[in-house]
Amino acid sequence: MSEHTVNIAWNNQPHAEIDGEYSRNHVLNVDGKQQLGLSAAADFLGDPGMADPEQILTGSVSSCHMLFFLAIAQIRGFSVASYEDEATAILGKDDTGAMAITKIILRPKVAFVHAVPSPEVLDRIHHGAHKRCFIANSLKSQVVVQAR
């Protein structure tokens, strides 16, 4: 088991374009190693020039799938030359009527160094990566709020 901690920080500032509104911009700090400026999605008064939480979630699923794909491909003897993914998240209402990411579509494009797996083997590698991706497996996980 492992723990993964991040810190977000927000300070009240006026919205850059809308009088009477506050800025949604904030900073995500990952273990003191990296900082990423975030905002709400533009549809929710965020800064369109910054990443939003929905994009970060989509990127996390895409990254997790890719990392498992690379590991499985290597184990099966396929050396990957490059991997790209154009992932999309669909925001809508879930079965209870709550706003949620209802679907994430991954569109991986993989190039191999030498041996190329058959379409059936490629599908099996993707299936194995999807099955093992703990980010995708966690999307309905419990969220606990512990106010400090």
pLDDT truncated to tens, each residue of the chain (148 aa)?
Answer: 888 889 999 999 999 999 999 999 999 999 888 999 999 999 999 999 999 999 999 999 999 999 999 999 999 999 999 999 999 999 989 889 999 888 899 999 999 999 999 999 999 999 999 999 999 888 876 667 776 6
Q: Of the residues 51, 68, 83, which one is the last residue of a structural domain?
A: 51
pTM (2 decimals)?
0.89
Say how far apart CA 14 and CA 23 lie, in whole Å.
Answer: 5
Give yes or no: residues 75 and 119 share one domain.
yes
Same domain, yes or no, for 81 and 104?
Answer: yes
Residue 89 near residue 142, CB atoms below 8 Å: no
Q: Do 58 and 97 have their domain in common?
A: yes
Q: Which domain holds residue 106?
A: 52-148
Total domain count for the chain?
2
Contacts of 29 (CB under 8 A, 6+ apart): 6, 7, 8, 9, 35
Q: Which residues are bridge partners to 92 per DSSP?
A: 100
Residues 60 and 46 in one domain: no
